[in-house]
Each structure stands twice: as C-alpha cells, then as structure tokens.
C-alpha cells in the first residue's frame, strides 16, 4: 500500500509522481522476486551489450558532467570517481557479465531441520524488495547496483546526485531498455535524480515503500542518511585506512604495498590514508617507502620522527590522522610498538580496512584478532577490499557496521531470509 508524502517533500515536482514511482518499484519487485534465474541473466546480458555498444554516448554524457564538475570546483578525487572512459565502461560491462555468472542467491537454503514430529523447517534467502541507494559522483555505482539488485531479485531506486546526472540518465535508460527487452518491468531500476535533493530526503522517509537504504559517499552524506532516514539503513563507511609497518617488515614489500595502496587509485575508499611505522623499523624501512611515494607525487604529512628522516614532509596535525584525503596525500607516524599502532587505529579508524606488513607470525595474528575493522590484512595492499576483487563481480558498497552485512557487499548481502515450515497436520502439544 502506498503512503502519502508531504506536499512539500519534492518542490517543483508532484509528490504523487514520486510516490507513484516508488509504488511502481514495489510492484516491479514482486515480479522480479519470482523471476527465474534465466530471465534475470538475459537482462544482465542485455545490460552488458548495451554498455559495450553505447560507449560513445556514455562518454559524451559523462564529459558534460566532468565539465560541470570542474566548473563547480569538484576535487580531483571526486572528478576521478566521476570519470567514465572507454576502459572503465568496458570494465563495467565485464563486471555485469561476472555477476551474471554468479550463483543466484534467491531460494538458497541457509539451514534446515526436521522436528521429531515430522515438521520440516528451512530458512531460505529472499530479496529485500525495494533497495534505495543514495550516492554521489559515481556513475559506475549506477551499473553495479542495478546488476546486483537485478540478480538478487530486488528493485533499485537510485539517487546518483547532480554531479553525475547526465551520465546516470543515459545509463538508466540503457538499463531500462535491456530490462524491457528481456521481459522484465523497466521499473525494476529507476532514478529519482529529477526530484533533486528533496527527492533524496523523501526517499529517506519512504518507510513502507522502500525496504532498505544504502548510502555511498563521503562521511557527511552517510551520516545524514543514517541520522535522518526512517527507512532501515545499511551503513557504508568512509575509509580512513591504515597500514602498519612492523619491526620485521620486509623493505620491498613495504615500499610496494604502501605505494599500491596509496597511488594506484587514491580517490577510492580502500586507499591507504595513514601509515604507522614501528620505531625499530623506521630508519630501515621508511626511506625506501617514502622515496617511492615521492616519485609518484605523494605529499607526506609526517610527525616529528618522520620529518627527521624525511625533511620534505609537512607537519602532520591531529586532523590529518582522521582525514580521508582521497588524493595523493598520506599521513605517516612513527609508533613505539604494535600496541601503540593498534591504539592509534582504534582511535582514528573508520572500521574499513587495515593491514600489517610483518614477518612476525605472533604479531600478525594479534593484529588480525585485535583490530576491529571490516577487513584486516597481513602483507597485502588495502586495495583488495573490493567486491570485484573478492569475487563478487561488483559491490553494493563496503559496510562498516556489524549488523546484517560487513565488508564488501555482494549478492547474499542484498537478501534477507524467511522460514519455510512444511507439515502434514501436526499441532503443538
């Protein structure tokens, strides 16, 4: 049943139109929930083909967004997230193909049993229904969410933000065409971008029409959704990500891993933002690490001990330790030992990803057990915390909360469960 939104909810647009869109998404979700895997895969194939065949159209729309973003002062990190070139579009199409190849989670039996009286009980995976997603300057998310929602049997209502409005308009139109061609309702994927920021607010208040809301973006956006939403929220998090170089850290591993984690794509949430260095390794390990970073144009924000070894570093402030730069900036601090490193991470981490570079098995296990983040690593780049890298094809986001989902969210994380009970006339004593 639809709910009436306040007449002031969506200035300049009919609130009835907004509500009608959500009602259509709810209706489409019912059809999608019972759609066979074959039909969903046909739609996914169509989306992948549409992406590959319309690269020029997508790039042209994206160029308008990039030009507007530059004019409006978007940071280099946000412009990088916003950009869609031919290679990225083809990667998106490949990711859709990978999602098509994954096992359909809908109907999977999580657990089951038979009672002594013969009643059979099973818990199975079912779609949420209607998933709302609020994000910014990330048109790739439009494709990732649409594909994951489709395969997991959910309708998706997307608010991609004004920065990517031209790109998202083209992408959603192509997705819509693929859905209809496959025999599914086009309303399985919709954008509320035409309703502006007020539409996002209305989406947050659409309890009863939207089953779950997922924000992706900066800390301010995520906190606003968590605070203001009456719809249940799966909280994704900003990435104040750490790497700790332990006393026994391999010098080459340290240089290569830190460089990859910072430089490969600095604008993403799994890029490292703070490197902590054991004081016994500082003189041995830091020169090589910082030299390699400097060669890539990274600005080092260092404490006094770091600046003594690397005078080109700028003084780090307390604010630096809590900053997600999304740029070629990195905070570096020398700490007394593993305990000090863990204490620093507990204070400043957003609970996303942390890694230790070490040859000490005991310290590695302590780090894994005592650091409370969604992903904790040993001798590996934090850039691996990603749905695609984890084999999910793509991801809805990286959840930093502890309820329902944590870490990269793939198909199973877009489902709930229900209990199926089959009897033959049994009654309870």
For the segment 219-259, what is each residue's pLDDT rounded down to a tens digit?
A: 788 889 999 999 999 988 778 999 999 999 999 999 999 99
- CATH 3.40.605.10, applies to 15-236+409-421: yes
Residue span(s) of the chain under CATH 3.40.605.10 come to 15-236+409-421
* Per-residue confidence band for 2, with pLDDT thresholds at 50, 70 and 90: very low
Q: For position 143, what pLDDT does the model report?
A: 96
Q: Tokens 């025999």 identify what position?
A: 183
* 3 pLDDT higher than 80: no
Q: Per-residue pLDDT tens for 88-99?
A: 999 999 999 999
* Element housing 133 (H / E): strand 130-135
Q: Is-contact 136 163, C-beta < 8 A? A: yes
For the chain, the helix, strand and coil percentages under 3-state DSSP, each to the nearest 5: 45, 20, 35
Q: What would the two tokens of residue 97 be?
A: 């193909």
Q: What would the two tokens of residue 391 be?
A: 């084999």
CA 377 to CA 242: how far, in whole Å? 10
Residue span(s) of the chain under CATH 3.40.309.10 come to 241-384
Q: For position 4, what pLDDT does the model report?
A: 37
Helix (H, G, I), strand (E, B) or coil at 196: helix
Tell me, letter by letter, the H, E, C secondary structure of 144-182: HHHHHHHHCCCEEEEECCHHHHHHHHHHHHHHHHHHHHH
Q: For position 219, what pLDDT does the model report?
A: 77
Class of domain 241-384: alpha beta
Q: For position 92, what pLDDT does the model report?
A: 95
Q: Tokens 């949420």 identify what position?
A: 128
Q: Is-contact 303 332, C-beta < 8 A? A: yes
Q: What would the two tokens of residue 115 be?
A: 């009672």
Average pLDDT along the chain: 93
Question: What backbone phi and psi angles, to 5 degrees, belong to 106?
Answer: -65, 125
Of 381, 331, 327, residue with least CA distance to 353: 381
Q: Per-residue pLDDT tens for 394-423?
A: 888 888 888 888 898 889 999 999 999 999
| Strands, E assignment, 247-367 | 272-278, 299-302, 314-315, 329-335, 353-357
Q: How far is CA 136 from the centre of its chain?
A: 12
Q: Tokens 């308009």 identify what position?
A: 169
Helix (H, G, I), strand (E, B) or coil at 334: strand
* Per-residue confidence band for 16, with pLDDT thresholds at 50, 70 and 90: low
* Per-residue confidence band for 78, with pLDDT thresholds at 50, 70 and 90: confident
Query: Radius of gyration (Cα) for the chain, nearest Å?
Result: 24
CA-angle at 327, arms to 297 and 200, nearest 5°:
165
Taken in order 364, 366, 368, 373, the sign of the CA dihedral is: negative
CA 11 to CA 81: how far, in whole Å? 29
* 186 pLDDT higher than 90: yes
Q: Is-contact 83 64, C-beta < 8 A? A: no
* 7 pLDDT higher than 50: no
CA 270 to CA 354: how far, in whole Å? 9
Please state the rounded mean pLDDT for residues 148-170. Answer: 95
Q: For position 355, what pLDDT does the model report?
A: 98
Please state the rounded mean pLDDT for residues 145-157. Answer: 96
């Amino acid at each position: 049943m639809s709910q009436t939104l306040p007449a002031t909810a969506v200035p300049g647009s009919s609130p009835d139109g907004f509500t009608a869109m959500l009602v259509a998404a709810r209706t489409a979700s019912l059809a999608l929930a019972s759609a066979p895997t074959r039909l969903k895969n046909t739609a996914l194939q169509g989306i992948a083909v549409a992406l590959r065949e319309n690269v020029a159209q997508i790039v042209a729309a994206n160029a308008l967004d990039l030009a507007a973003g530059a004019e409006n002062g978007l940071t280099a990190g946000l412009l990088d997230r916003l950009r869609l070139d031919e290679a990225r579009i083809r990667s998106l199409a490949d990711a859709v193909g990978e999602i098509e190849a994954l096992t359909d989670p809908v109907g999977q039996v999580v657990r089951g049993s038979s009672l002594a009286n013969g009643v059979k009980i099973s818990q199975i995976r079912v779609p949420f229904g209607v998933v709302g997603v609020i994000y910014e300057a990330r048109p790739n998310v439009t494709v990732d969410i649409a594909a994951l929602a489709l395969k997991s049997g959910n309708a998706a209502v997307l608010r991609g933000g004004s920065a990517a409005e031209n790109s998202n308009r083209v992408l959603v139109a192509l997705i819509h065409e693929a859905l209809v061609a496959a025999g599914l309702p086009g309303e399985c994927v919709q954008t509320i971008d035409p309703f502006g920021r007020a539409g996002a607010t209305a989406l947050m208040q659409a309890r009863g029409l939207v089953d779950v809301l997922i924000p992706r973006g900066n800390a301010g956006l995520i906190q606003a959704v968590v605070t203001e939403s009456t719809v249940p929220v799966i909280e994704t998090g900003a990435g104040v990500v750490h790497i700790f170089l332990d006393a026994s850290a391999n010098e080459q591993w340290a240089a290569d891993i830190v460089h990859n984690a910072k430089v490969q794509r600095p604008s993403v949430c799994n890029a490292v933002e703070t490197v902590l260095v054991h004081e016994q390794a500082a003189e041995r390990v830091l020169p090589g690490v910082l030299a390699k970073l400097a060669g890539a144009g990274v600005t080092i924000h260092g404490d006094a001990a770091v600046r003594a070894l690397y005078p080109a570093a700028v003084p780090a402030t307390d604010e630096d330790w809590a900053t997600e730069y999304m740029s070629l900036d990195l905070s570096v601090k020398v700490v007394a030992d593993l305990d000090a490193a863990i204490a620093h991470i507990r204070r400043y981490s957003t609970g996303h990803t942390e890694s230790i570079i070490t040859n000490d098995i005991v310290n590695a296990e302590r780090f894994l057990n005592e650091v409370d983040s969604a992903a904790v690593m040993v001798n590996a780049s934090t850039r691996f915390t990603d749905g695609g890298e984890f084999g999910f094809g793509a991801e809805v986001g990286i959840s930093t909360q502890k309820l329902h989902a944590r870490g990269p969210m793939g198909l199973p994380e877009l489902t709930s469960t229900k209990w199926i009970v089959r009897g033959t006339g049994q009654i309870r004593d």
